[in-house]
Amino acid sequence: MTVDYAGHPCDFDALRSLTAPRGIRIVDDAAHALGAASHGRPVGCAALADVTAFSFYATKNLTTGEAAPPSPTTRHWPSASGS
């Protein structure tokens, strides 16, 4: 699980180079990076992580109370996770 912080996404290119050959999925906590982008790719897109979660807690960039919607970025996620 990756954690983006202070509006800065993780280095997803480096992470993909490690995880893709091993078939490991990336789950991203983007609570502090809503609206951010990595090399022109917005946080939450399939090119960065397989699933991205955003949080709306009071200390986050976008607040609405307490919630954390996941954002699956691939339609194959349920079968890939074994569900």
**Residues with a known catalytic role:** 60
Distance between first and last Cα of the chain: 19
Q: Which amino acid is at 6?
A: A
Consecutive H or E run containing 80: helix 77-80
- Residues 6 or more apart in contact with residue 69 via CB below 8 angstroms: 53, 54
